[in-house]
C-alpha cells in the first residue's frame, strides 16, 4: 500500500484543487498520511501570490532530499501556481533537481498518467499554459473529489482571472476567465445536498464576472437565484467579489435570497484613489465607500471583510493614511493584511520607488492595530444578539457553530445537534471567538 502526503498552500482554489488531487490519489489506491516520513509520495500544491510561501517550498523540498536517501521509492512532486510561472519553473528545476514530478493548475486531470511515469523513474514535468477546453467545459467534472467535511463544500463557478491588477500574479497562473455552465453547477450542488451537505461556497477569483464568457445569457445573480431554490440546501456563500463588478442586481440577491448569507468579502486593497489607479483596480475611494453604503442599506447587519496591501511601490505617508482612514470609516469585521511582495513579470514589480522593508513593516503593524480595535468592538457589540448557527463541530467542552455572518461561536450542547441549525444568544466575546447559549 502506498501513502501520500499532500501540503496545500494559498487560496480556496488551491484548497479545492487539493480535494480533487486527493480524490484522484485515493482512486489510484494511495492512502493519505500526515507524516512525511511515512510517505511514498510528497506533493506540494503551491501558491506564488507572495514570496514568503515560495521560500518555504524551496526550504522544505530541499530538506526532503534526506528522506529520498532513506527511501529510494519516494517520489516528490510540486504542483499548483508556482510551476505556472516560466522563470519559477526553471529555478525549481535548477535548485530542486531531485523533484520527480511537476504539473500545473490546468492539467490536474493528467495526474494518473504523470504519476505512473514518475513512479517508473522518469522526471516528469508537464505544465500547460491554458486549460484546453471549449466554452463551459471543465476537465475537473469527471474527476473524483475527496471532501474532508460532510457539511460544507466548495464549488467552482469560474476559473482564472483577467483583471490584471498590477501587483498580482494570479492572471498569469490561472489563465483567462472561464465559467462553468449553470447546469453543471446546479448538478454539483444537487449531488452535494443529496449527500447531506448544508452549505456551499461558490468559488472564483472574481465570481461577479460569472457568465460573461458564456454565450448563454446569465449572470452571477441568476446563478444565486437558481441555487437558492434548491431544497435542503441551507446556506450559500461566495468568494471573491471585485468591487468594480458589484452591481445592484447582486446587492439585491444578497438582500433577498434567504439562503445567501449576510457576509461579503470585498477586497479594497488600498484607500487612496491614486494608489488604486496604479493598482489597476478600476474604482476610486469614493466609489468604494458609496458601494459599502448601498450594501449596508440593502443588507443591514451584513459582515464585511476585505484584503489590504501596504507598501505598494510609491505608497506615500498620505496614501497610507488614506488606507487607515478608509478602514476606520468602513469598519470592516475583519481584514487580511499583506505586505506588498514584488512578483516577477507583473507591472508593479518594475515600478520605481519600491518601499523599504522596514517601512512596510511599520505600516502593516499600524494597520493591524487599527483593524484589531475595530474587530474587537464589533465582536463586543454582538453580545446579547440572537444568531442562527450551523453546528459544524465539537470543541473541548461543547460544540462549535458558525453564524450566517461567518463567525465561530462556542456553546454547550449535545452531539445530536451536529449538522443542524440552532439559535443562540451571544453571551461572551473574545478577540477571535464568541460564546453563546442555546435559545
Task: Give the residues lining the site for ligand SAH (CB under 6 A).
Answer: 11, 49-50, 161, 167-168, 170, 205-206, 240, 242, 267, 269, 307, 309, 338, 340-341, 343
d(C-alpha 64, C-alpha 318), whole Å: 46
Smallest separation (angstroms) from ligand SAH to the CB of 11:
6
Beta-strand relationship, 408-411 and 434-438: parallel
What are the backbone angles phi and psi of residue 257, rounded to the nearest 5°? -85, 120
Rounded least distance, CB 209 to ligand SF4, Å: 9
171 binds, among ligand SF4, ligand F3S, ligand SAH, none (CB under 5 to 8 A by kind): ligand SF4
Cα gap 268→327, rounded to integer Å? 9
Binding positions for ligand SF4, 168-197, rule CB under 6 A: 168, 170-171
Cell triple for 113? 498518467
Q: Say how far apart CA 143 and CA 125 lie, in whole Å.
A: 21
Nearer to ligand SF4, 170 or 275 (CB): 170
Q: Looking at beta carbons only, is 77 or 83 nearer to ligand SAH?
A: 83
Partner whose footprint covers residue 81, from ligand SAH, ligand SF4, ligand F3S, none (CB < 5 to 8 Å by kind): ligand F3S
Residue 11 vs 124, nearer CB to ligand SAH: 11
Q: Which does 173 bind (CB under 5 to 8 A by kind): ligand SAH, ligand F3S, ligand SF4, none?
A: ligand F3S
Q: Does 282 bind ligand SF4 (CB under 6 A)?
A: no
Give the C-alpha separation, 240 to 205, whole Å. Answer: 6
Q: How far is the CB of 137 from ligand F3S (least distance, A)?
A: 20
Q: Which does 47 bind (CB under 5 to 8 A by kind): ligand SAH, ligand SF4, ligand F3S, none?
A: ligand F3S
The residue number whose beta carbon is nearest to ligand F3S equals 10
Task: For residue 417, count CB atoms less than 10 angstroms from its CB and return exposed for 0-12, middle for 13-18, buried for 19 or more.
Answer: middle
Closest CB to ligand SAH among residues 181, 341: 341
Total residues in contact with ligand SF4, by rule CB under 6 A:
10
Q: Which residues within the stretch 236-265 sit at the binding site for ligand SF4 (CB under 6 A)?
A: 242
Residue 309 binding result from ligand F3S, ligand SF4, ligand SAH, none, given CB thresholds of 5 to 8 Å by partner type: ligand SAH
| 47/276 with CB nearer ligand F3S | 47
Question: Where does residue 421 fall: left (phi above 0), alpha (psi -120 to 50 degrees), or beta otherwise?
Answer: beta
Map residue 144 onto helix, strand or coil.
coil
Smallest distance from the beta carbon of 127 to ligand SAH, in angstroms? 20
Secondary structure of 304-319 as H, E, C letters = EEEEEEECCCCCCHHH
Q: Quick one: 206 or 306, whose CB is closer to ligand SF4?
A: 206
At closest approach, how far in Å is the CB of 132 from ligand SAH? Answer: 23
In residues, how long is the chain? 439
Q: Which residue, 240 or 323, has its beta carbon nearer to ligand SAH?
A: 240
Looking at beta carbons, which pairs linking 362-368 to residues 24 or more positions away fall under 8 Å? 363/310, 363/311, 363/315, 363/320, 364/310, 364/311, 364/337, 364/338, 364/339, 366/324, 367/308, 367/310, 367/323, 367/324, 367/327, 367/337, 368/337
Residue 394 to residue 410: CA distance in whole angstroms: 9
Q: Which residues bind ligand F3S (CB under 6 A)?
A: 10-11, 13-14, 47-49, 80-81, 169-170, 173-174
Contact between 205 and ligand SF4 (CB under 6 A)? yes
Buried b (16+ CB within 10 A) or exposed e, 387-412: bbbbbbeeeeebbbbbbbbbbbbbbe
Residue numbers of the site for ligand SF4 (CB under 6 A)?
161, 163-165, 168, 170-171, 205-206, 242
Amino acid at each position: 500500500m502506498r501513502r501520500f502526503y499532500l501540503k496545500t498552500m494559498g487560496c480556496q482554489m488551491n484548497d479545492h484543487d487539493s480535494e480533487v488531487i486527493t480524490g484522484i490519489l485515493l482512486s489510484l489506491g494511495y492512502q493519505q498520511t500526515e507524516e512525511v516520513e511515512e510517505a511514498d509520495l510528497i506533493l506540494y500544491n503551491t501558491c506564488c501570490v507572495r514570496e514568503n510561501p515560495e521560500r518555504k517550498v524551496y526550504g522544505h523540498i530541499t530538506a526532503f532530499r534526506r528522506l529520498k536517501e532513506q527511501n529510494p521509492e519516494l517520489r516528490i512532486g510540486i504542483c499548483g501556481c508556482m510551476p505556472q510561472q516560466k522563470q519559477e519553473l526553471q529555478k525549481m528545476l535548477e535548485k530542486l533537481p531531485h523533484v520527480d514530478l511537476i504539473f500545473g493548475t490546468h492539467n490536474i486531470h493528467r495526474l494518473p498518467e504523470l504519476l505512473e511515469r514518475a513512479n517508473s523513474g522518469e522526471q516528469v514535468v508537464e505544465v500547460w499554459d491554458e486549460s484546453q477546453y471549449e466554452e463551459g467545459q471543465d476537465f475537473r467534472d469527471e474527476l473524483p473529489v475527496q471532501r474532508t467535511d460532510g457539511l460544507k463544500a466548495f464549488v467552482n463557478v469560474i476559473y482564472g482571472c483577467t483583471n490584471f491588477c498590477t501587483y498580482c500574479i494570479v492572471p498569469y497562473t490561472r489563465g483567462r476567465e472561464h465559467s462553468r455552465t449553470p447546469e453543471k453547477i446546479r448538478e454539483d450542488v444537487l449531488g452535494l445536498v443529496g449527500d447531506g451537505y448544508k452549505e456551499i461556497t461558490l468559488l472564483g477569483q472574481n465570481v461577479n464576472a460569472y457568465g460573461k464568457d458564456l454565450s448563454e445569457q446569465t449572470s452571477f445573480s441568476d446563478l444565486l437565484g437558481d441555487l437558492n431554490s434548491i431544497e435542503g440546501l441551507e446556506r450559500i456563500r461566495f468568494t471573491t467579489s471585485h468591487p468594480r463588478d458589484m452591481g445592484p442586481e447582486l446587492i439585491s440577491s444578497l438582500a433577498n435570497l434567504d439562503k445567501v448569507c449576510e457576509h461579503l468579502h470585498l477586497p479594497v486593497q488600498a484607500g487612496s484613489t491614486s494608489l488604486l489607479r496604479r493598482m489597476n483596480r478600476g474604482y476610486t475611494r469614493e466609489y468604494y465607500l458609496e458601494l459599502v453604503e448601498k450594501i449596508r442599506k440593502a443588507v443591514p447587519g451584513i459582515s464585511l471583510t476585505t484584503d489590504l496591501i501596504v507598501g505598494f511601490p510609491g505608497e506615500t505617508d498620505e496614501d497610507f493614511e488614506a488606507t487607515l482612514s478608509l478602514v476606520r470609516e468602513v469598519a470592516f469585521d475583519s481584514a487580511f493584511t499583506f505586505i506588498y511582495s514584488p512578483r516577477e513579470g507583473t507591472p508593479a514589480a518594475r515600478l520605481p520607488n519600491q518601499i523599504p522593508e522596514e517601512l512596510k513593516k511599520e505600516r502593516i503593524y499600524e494597520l493591524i492595530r487599527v483593524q484589531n480595535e475595530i474587530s474587537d468592538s464589533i465582536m463586543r457589540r454582538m453580545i446579547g444578539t440572537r444568531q442562527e448557527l450551523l453546528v459544524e463541530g465539537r470543541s473541548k467542552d461543547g460544540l462549535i457553530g458558525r453564524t450566517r455572518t461567518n463567525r465561530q461561536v462556542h456553546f454547550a450542547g449535545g452531539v445530536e445537534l451536529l449538522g443542524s441549525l440552532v439559535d443562540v444568544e451571544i453571551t461572551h466575546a473574545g478577540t477571535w471567538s464568541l460564546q453563546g447559549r442555546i435559545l
